[in-house]
A and B are shown apart, each in its own frame.
Chain A
Amino acid sequence: MTSTTSPKIEARRPSPAPVPGNPRNRGGRPSGLPWILPAFVFVVGLIYYCIVETGYLSTLDWDGTSPTPTSVGAANYTAIIQDPIFWRAIWHTVVFFIVTFTVQTAIGFVFAALLHSKVRLGAVYKVLVFTPVVLAPATMAPVFRQMFAADGQLNWALDHIGLGFLSQPWLAQSATAMPVVMFITVWQFTGLTFVLYYAAMGQIDPETLEAARTDGASNLRVLMNIVWPGVRGTTVALAMLGVIGALKTFDVPYLVTIGGPNYSTEFLGTYIYRISIPSAHVGYGAALSILLLILALLGAITVAARANRKDGESSV
């Protein structure tokens, strides 16, 4: 398809006539280099240079300041494979992604569907749902630490509604610290999920919905069989962002639980920081960073590939 359409496009858009005397016309087309130079310098110079530099650092045993780093080849990577904290961080990432993505998707989708119907004060609800997205985690972290503290507001509320037996030091226990981190993340990012679903639902052809209703489909049936497949592209994009976001998780666990207690909320991001900065194992931290990059790419590619395969199956 592409090979047959391209020449038509070329034929419709002939090259501009050469301007006499312009030295740039020697090759027949103006040079694109000046146009891409700023982006080229930024992308190649900054991002890829940093990746290459991090890759190099990952082969060193270095504290970050010593003038004499030692080359250790792939030893940092070998050590990571045998590092139980690394595997715990990976496991936490997987669980974190599954739970937060599922809950955010469910709440965001339902809110978007509800607010597409004519509810009173709909604009107010939209603002309320989206507000947490714009609040910085650093601002909210002390609030949540206070709220979930042993003498915090959550336990106070539980005590006052007769559920005092549920009171506990939420951030001090391995079993409850991770759910708290997940709760905060869901609270913070469900607004984004909601907004994207809300926009995607606006693109669904109203005639299709009307036809379904004329055929007697219930609201739930319309939601599951027409709206949900209609926003599939948004779900895939959110899944991809979710995978990358889960792998990059840092601010909430670091600011609320410092990755603890006993590494129970340790993620790759917090572990990289812990290893690179306080422990000054910059080479090991760089190797973890490279693995994080590879995992993020693999995760995004996997989600995209599965989505493409499903698209292919459904079009057949």
Chain B
Amino acid sequence: MLGSSRIWKRRLPGAAAVFTAAVLALAGCAGGATTETTDKGSADSGTITWWGWTPDAAPAEAYIKAFNKAYPNIKVTYKKLTIDGYDAAIRPALASSVGPDVFDVAPGAANGSVDIYGVNAIDLTPAVEKSLGADWKSKLAPIGVSSLTKDGKLAALSVGSNYAGSVWVNQDLFDKYGLKPPATYDEWKSVCAAFKTHGVKCFVQGAAQTAFNEDTLQAISNNIEPGVWARALDKKVPWTDPTIVQALTIWKKLFDDKIMQDGALGVQQYPDANNDFMSGKAAMVMMGTWYMQYSTVEGSTAAISGAGVANPKPFTQLPIAFPDVAGTGNVGSLYGDADFGLAVNKKSKSIAAATTFATWLGTSQAGQQAVGDILNDIPALTSVQPDWTSIKLVNPTAQQPALEKLISDAGKSAEPRLATVSADLQTAIGVASTTVAAGQATPEQAAATLQSAAEKLK
């Protein structure tokens, strides 16, 4: 024993040194400098990576192609991640020193929250001032600036906005069976019964992916009494407000009356509900303005193919107002936020080139025109409108007026969608929606539980 303790005394410093080295090496891997890189690189050349959950690969490719017309020496590589997997991937990537140069962030607490990842981004105010001048704020959609500004820092440049509240229909299926898109609850019920006789799903909702339940609940709530849902998010009315309770009651009725597809609580909005709609198995789905991109021949073909259809044939997709389920006549409400913003990683070794790309896509006429024409987002630069002469729609006669109206209506909306929803509140709303749908709680009980959860949040 004595001998071994002597050996230990001799060897301990060595072992400690090895341990310390290992710990430091690991700490180095896990952490790294949190300050901004000083060498910003060239603004006109280099290679940069961009990570995001949106846009899809095809629009991203189109944006990059347009960007390379102006900046041929900056190579941009886009990596698309899943909505649910984005946070898991981006958090360690940004903590390391080898993360993406440009990354998506979004307002609110959904994936890629600017509240969480804004700290990893550089302030883009000088870049946007250089691009648009001192009065840059007047040229951009206010919703994109305010919601992506964190602690006085413009953490990301909004590429465009997205609004929910609309329902998308497969017009070809409606025409095939001689049906009209529903405008009221009763019409909706009878349309769904008719589709069922033809073996077609009527309305699909991925109720297991609870973030999308919010869109439907907000639409129902706005149909009952516009603005109450937004005021509840803003803590100006309690979640036990009669409008919210009635919204949960109607939500439950959608399940009981088979307007919702069977097994909705076991289905995810992406990929399940989206795939059902794109593959023609379902006639209606609750999606927002981001679905406009599938009105084009190219966008529709890619999406149908992505849904697993072997020989994709584009069909006429149209947005309709959420049906008047409460019989109040309050229809057509839309609510939205900046869809996503491009943030520049403060640890990037190509900050200048990354800033060039983010600024070009978010503020330049050419970049924003590319965004507008892809129809994934409503452009952040207010002067830009989609160039309908260059957009190849599947059915221009039916689709162009509907899309123009949707864009126009969205521009009038000031109601937030997810920007003011924290992750914990989102979870609580999800629990309320699924427990009511499953019959495990009455609308009153679910609203009370939701209110109780909301009160506990910071």
Task: Give A residues with C-beta under 8 Å from B.
Answer: 27, 31, 33, 37, 40-41, 44-46, 49, 63-67, 145, 148-151, 169-174, 177, 257-258, 260-262, 273, 277-280
Contacts and interface: CB of A to CB of B under 8 A. Distances in A.
Contacts of A260: 208, 265-266, 434
B388 interface: no
Given A49-B23, A172-B267, A177-B266, 4 more contacts: A31-B11, A40-B18, A151-B262, A173-B265
Contact of B18 (A37, A151, A174, A177): A37
Interface string B75-111: 0000000001001100100110000000000000101
A150 B21 CA distance: 56
A68 to B, nearest CB: 9
Given A262-B431, A279-B427, A150 B18 contact: no
A45 B21 CA distance: 9
A149 B267 contact: yes
A280 B355 CA distance: 27
A150 B95 contact: no
Nearest to A180: B266
Nearest to A41: B22
A217 to B, nearest CB: 49
Contacts of A27: 7
Interface residues of B, number: 45
A174 B440 contact: yes
A36 to B, nearest CB: 10
A278 to B, nearest CB: 6
B374 to A, nearest CB: 28
Q: Is the interface of A mostly helix, strand, loop or mixed?
A: loop
B264 interface: yes
19 contacts: A33-B15, A44-B22, A45-B19, A45-B22, A49-B22, A49-B26, A67-B34, A145-B272, A150-B266, A171-B208, A171-B263, A171-B267, A172-B262, A173-B265, A258-B208, A260-B208, A261-B438, A262-B431, A280-B423
Contacts of B91: 64-65, 277
B267 A279 contact: no
A177 B22 CA distance: 44
B44 interface: no
Given A33-B14, A65-B94, A262-B431, A257 B26 contact: no
B387 interface: no
A130 B423 CA distance: 42
Contacts of B15: 33, 40
A163 to B, nearest CB: 17
Given A49-B23, A49-B26, A173-B438, A261 B208 contact: yes
A41 B111 contact: no
A148 B91 CA distance: 33
Nearest to A254: B84
Contacts of A148: 266
B116 interface: yes
B26 A45 contact: yes
Contact of B119 (A67, A149, A174, A257): A67
B450 to A, nearest CB: 14
B297 to A, nearest CB: 28
A220 B209 CA distance: 50
A172 B120 contact: no
Given A49-B26, A260-B208, A262-B434, A65 B267 contact: no
